Structures are given as structure tokens and as C-alpha cells.
Structure 1
Amino acid sequence: MKATRRAMLALPALAAAPVSAQHAWPDRPVRVIVSFPGGSTPDIAARAVGNHFGRVFGQPFVIDNRAGGGGTIGADATAKATDGHTLGVTIGGPGSIAKILNPQLGYDPVTDLVPVSLLARMPFVLAVNPGVPVHNVAELIAYARANPGKLNYGSVGAGSTGHLLVAEMASRHGLEMTHVPYRSVPQSVTEIVAGRIELMAAAAGSVLAQVREGQARAIGVSGAARMPQLPDVPTLVEQGEPAGGVYAWIGLFAPPGTPAERVARIAGEAGRALANPETGRTLEAAGFEPLGTPPEALATLIREEVAHWGPVVQRLGIRPES
């Protein structure tokens, strides 16, 4: 979670020319399993790099949306693919700590998915309904202590990064707050605007419009630096919270056994795709920072998330249905 942008963008020195005879793969269309519905941000990212891959590799890269299970259905299908022509796009959670949250899960992201490239990331915004009389994290902590059990915080599901971020903060400060999980980001954002929940840690792109319109108040961001879109909102680290480098992210994966040289070539092309200004603007419009890293940057991120969130999940007893 603390890898620098310079290190993350150190792309492999690979030719950008179309695949030649020495690169026989792919020799037929490639399926790209996206763990979320069409139109979702992971889907947008997959289509952006898939279009580039099709031009470079000379075969169609066909998007296969496998939504459900909080992203685990699509990730599981990627992990179990054996045709040699399948890739997967998913996010943090199903791509990192899903097995910790659900030991009965049919795949383990750490061992059954091969990291290819971290495509994009965005920080979380800690947002409150404007009716909550707090403007920073210190005021939130004080208010929650003075009103035990009266604050409800939302997320897109138990074990999601937004849930874990707030749950860990509440545990660290001994706060009594109630978690309310929702099925989707739009639903949870609607609930905070309506005042049916008081706060949430939302992926930045999902709540920026509401913050700008005064329908929600941003009191902190989880990234390592302030967001250009919210320059007056301090990071959680600036406010004494150890949450720097916590991001919502989109990753490109391959099934086990995918040759290392193929992984490296795909990662290089993902970096070139996301360096394209038009592709970058598409993701930036959704609130993401386009990256397109080498495989090791994504592998490092996953190791860091497992090391950080694993103990939190165990200590707080969090399960997908909790």
C-alpha cells in the first residue's frame, strides 16, 4: 500500500510493436473475466486495456462480466481457468483478502491468482451527512464518544475496504458505532445523503459529486497525499490516523501457471494502454488514478493488504455476512 508512484510506473522494457512469430500467444480470442457488471469502473478499465490488447496482440479480448459474491465469483472463475486464454479484472478484497474473510471460499487470491498489473487506484473519502456536527476526525471521535451507539456507518458490504477502514478506526478509539452494509455504492451514497446513515468511507469517485454539492461533508481522505479534487480536506495521516496508502484499486490477474514472460508482456502493454491520454481521462473521470504497473507492484500491494487487514479481520471477527 506504500509503494511509490515512481516504482509502480517502472514499466518493463518491452516492444510496443504487434505480436510477432516469436510471441505465438494468443492464437485465438482471449476472455477477460470482469468480476463486476458492465458499466462498473472495473469494467471500464478492462475494456480500455482490452481494446489496446486487441490491437497489439492481434486477437479480440472479449469481456465476460461475472458479477456476484462481492467480486469473488469472477475471481474464482479466473483462478480456475485452464484454457491459457483467460485473464481477470477485479478489485481489492476478492483480489487480496477474500479467503481471510471467508475460509470456505473456493479459491485463495494469494495463491490462485497471478498478479499482472495494478491498473488504477483511488483513495477513500471519510464522509459524513451534513447534519452531523463534525468537520474533522478529532471532532468525529469526540462526537461518537459522546453519543455511543447513535452513529451508523455504511459500506458496500462486510469486509469491504471501506468497512474495514471505519471498523478499525472505531476499534482503535473504542467507539460504539453500528455498521450497515449495502448491496451497491450508489445505494450507500444515497443513504448518507438522506441521513439514514451518518458516515462512511467511500471510494472517492463515488462521493465527490455529493461533497461538491454540499450533500455530504468530507472530513478526511485515506491516500498518501491530499486529493487535487479536495485540496482543503486533510489526509487521515495528517489527522493522526494510520491509514495512509489505503486505496480502492483495480487489478489485472492471470490464472495459475501463466508463463512469467507472458505476464510481463501483458503488464507492459497494460502500462502503455493506461499511459494513453484518452484512456487515462476515462478512468480519471471516474475518480481513479491510472497506473498500469509491473506485476511486482500488484503482488506487493496484495501482500501488504493481507498483512494489514488480516489481523484486523481476525481481531474484529468480521465475516461477509456480519
Structure 2
Amino acid sequence: MALLTRRGLAALPALMLPAAAGAQATWPERPVRIIVAFPGGSTPDLAARAVQGHLAQALGQPVVVDNRPGGGGHLGTEAIARATDGHTFGVTIGGPGSTGKILNPALGYDPVTDLMPVSLLARLPFVLVVHPSVPARTAAEFVAHAKANPGRISYASTGPGTLSHLAMEDMAAREGFEAVHVPYRAVGQAVLDLVAGRIQAFFAASGGVLPQIREGQVRALAVTSSERFPAIPDVPTMRESGVNADPVVAWIGLFAPAGTPAERIARVAAEAGRALAEPEQRRALETAGFVVVGSAPEVLRAQVASDVERWGGIIRRLGLRPEG
């Protein structure tokens, strides 16, 4: 066997570079999985499927959506954080993707350290909706009614510490009224009970209640975004409706497990943005109540940090803990 000279040894790293670069360029070598922390047909699922086809084309591998519902999104989000195969991404929302560890210190993952932001896919403003029997046609009138009937107004949420809960608690604290919190495990059940009059109010993500608003089964008092929502342009903002409140907007994000190479994250983020820029996808999502985004990783990272500061502070102040 010939001995390598010192010059030959020095040249080895340079000789190996093309092979290493080629190995990196071959990613993905097998199908890519997108874990969705909510069931099929949910708003996070719709967002994931909106990018699925384009990602498969762009990456040259099948992209499989894997729904992992349960625990208010925490079970699926933990599965995203714990994936180690190098071919897994995931879609989740604000609570499991930002303040989950603040709400539940025993949670098996920390969204801030165990997830890497990839792209903010969409935002969904909340809508303050009430049963038609509630004698209020503006947010200000709702506040006045709640003050006049302390403890007699019940409102839904999708669980302790979720935005639908925190938005009402924040408004109640600012405006000085009391209401009874009724947590639900799913938006659909909360909406059914609101329509039936078993609860009186709900801060609902826009996509989950648009049909009932359009059919007159519930009354929309205000949207929680800073501007009116194009899907229901006749519904005023909270401030236009007489309540001085900061915007409350749900979001859907695409994440990767911590340790995912930055170049993969940048590539997937760019392709997700291209997918959401396709006119047909954008129109379909907007019709379903989304504000389509498709951002760089930094935008989602800033959103998570904002949630931790704002909503994490309210969770701590109220001493909230998860059910069960």
C-alpha cells in the first residue's frame, strides 16, 4: 500500500468536499413527514395540506401528513419535538407552540427550546360571538351586560390557557366584569353549545365559526384583529365596537425539531411560502377564514417570543394550569 505524503494528507479535506456537498444536496433521501397536532379537517390540518403538494414537488419526495390529535395539541407537538429521523416537520398553533411549558411545567417538551421555527403559515383573527338571546350588538354593550349580570354570563374556550380563554380573561380584567369559564376539548362542541344557547359567548378563531355567523345562528360583535377581517367585512374591530383591547390573533406555524440543519429549514420555509402564494391555495384558505402568510423563520420566531411575553404573563398572573 502506498503511503500518503504530507501534501497528500493536506489535500484530503478538499478532495472530500464535493462528496460531502453532494450528500447534503441529496436531502431528502426518503419521504418527508408533516405531523399535524390536530385532527383532519381542523385549521392546522388545512394549512398543512395547503403546502403538502408543492413541497412534494419541490423536494422530489412524497410528503405525508400525519395527524396526531390530543391534549389540546400538546401530544402532536411533542411528537414533532421528539422526532430524530431528519425528515420530520410539524404544524401546530400558539399554545402548544409557545406558552405550553408555562401553562404546564410538567410538559414533556419546551416549545421554546425543543422546536425550531420554520414558517408562519397563517393567522386567524378571533371573533367575539354571542348567542342571539344576549342583548348586545357591540362589544361595549356586551361588557355592560356582563357587568350588570356578574357571574351569570358563561363563555366557552378550547381549554385553560388557550387564546379563547385568555382573550376573555384579559378583557374581563381590563373592563371589570366576571364571567363563568366553560372549557371544551374542541371548537366544534363549543360552537354547538353556543348555537343551542347553553353558553352565551365565545372568542372563536374566525375559521371555526364563519358558517354560523353567515347563517345568523350566532351574532358576531367584533373581530380581535387591528383591522376588519375581509371574510366578514361588516363586523367591526374591538376598538370600533367600543372596547379598547390589544389585538388577539391565532396563528398556525410550521416547525422542525431542534437540531434540524439551518439549510433544510430555510429550504422548506421558502417552498412553503411559494406554496401559499399560489392563487388557488390562497383563495381557498382565505375563504376558510385564514389570513395567509408563509413567512421566513424569523417571523415565526418573533411571534413565539411575543406570545411567551404577553400570554405567558397572563397565565402566570391567573395561576392557570391544564385540566386533569
Q: CA deviation at 1:140?
A: 1.2
Counterparts of 1:40-79 in structure 2 under 5 Å?
Answer: 40-79=42-81
Runs of 5+ unmatched residues, structure 2: 1-21
* Matches of 1:38 and 1:233, distance apart in 2: 29
Of 194, 213, 238, which aligns to 2:196?
Answer: 194
Once the two structures are superposed, what CA deviation does each residue of 1:122-154 show, in whole Å capped at 9, x if it has no partner? 100001111110111221111111111100000
State which drifts further: 194-203 or 45-54. 45-54
TM-score by length of 1: 0.90
Q: CA deviation at 1:303?
A: 0.5
* Matches of 1:115 and 1:194, distance apart in 2: 39
Alignment partner of 1:242 is 2:245? yes
Once the two structures are superposed, what CA deviation does each residue of 1:94-114 show, in whole Å capped at 9, x if it has no partner? 111111110100111111100
Q: What is the percentage of aligned positions where both structures have the same residue?
A: 60
Q: CA deviation at 1:80?
A: 1.1
Change (3 A) 1:232 1:285: closer
Where does structure 1 differ by over 4 angstroms across 4 or more consecutive aligned residues?
A: none
SS in 2 for 1:133: coil
Question: Contact conserved, 2:39 with 2:45, CA < 8 A, in 1?
Answer: yes
Question: Contact conserved, 2:122 with 2:290, CA < 8 A, in 1?
Answer: yes
* Matches of 2:161 and 2:95, distance apart in 1: 8
Instruction: Indicate the residue corresponding to 1:145 in structure 2.
Output: 147
* Matches of 1:122 and 1:285, distance apart in 2: 12
Question: Contact conserved, 2:122 with 2:252, CA < 8 A, in 1?
Answer: yes
Question: Contact conserved, 2:171 with 2:245, CA < 8 A, in 1?
Answer: no
* Matches of 2:64 and 2:322, distance apart in 1: 30
Cα RMSD, aligned residues only:
1.5
Instruction: Indicate the residue corresponding to 2:14 in structure 1.
Output: none
Instruction: Indicate the residue corresponding to 2:26 in structure 1.
Output: 24
Once the two structures are superposed, what CA deviation does each residue of 1:62-86 show, in whole Å capped at 9, x if it has no partner? 1111110111111101111111111
Kindly name which structure, 1 or 2, has the bigger radius of gyration based on alpha carbons: 2
Q: CA deviation at 1:241?
A: 2.4
Q: CA deviation at 1:312?
A: 0.5
Q: CA deviation at 1:210?
A: 1.4
Aligned partner of 1:130: which letter?
A: P
Runs of 5+ unmatched residues, structure 1: 1-19
* Matches of 1:176 and 1:40, distance apart in 2: 31
Aligned partner of 2:256: which letter?
A: A
Instruction: Indicate the residue corresponding to 2:235 in structure 1.
Output: 233
* Matches of 1:47 and 1:135, distance apart in 2: 37
* Matches of 2:41 and 2:220, distance apart in 1: 26
Instruction: Indicate the residue corresponding to 2:285 in structure 1.
Output: 283
SS in 1 for 2:106: coil
Instruction: Indicate the residue corresponding to 1:3 in structure 2.
Output: none
* Matches of 1:189 and 1:167, distance apart in 2: 19
Higher helix share: 2
Instruction: Indicate the residue corresponding to 1:38 in structure 2.
Output: 40
SS in 2 for 1:95: helix
Once the two structures are superposed, what CA deviation does each residue of 1:164-200 show, in whole Å capped at 9, x if it has no partner? 1001111222211100011211111111111110101
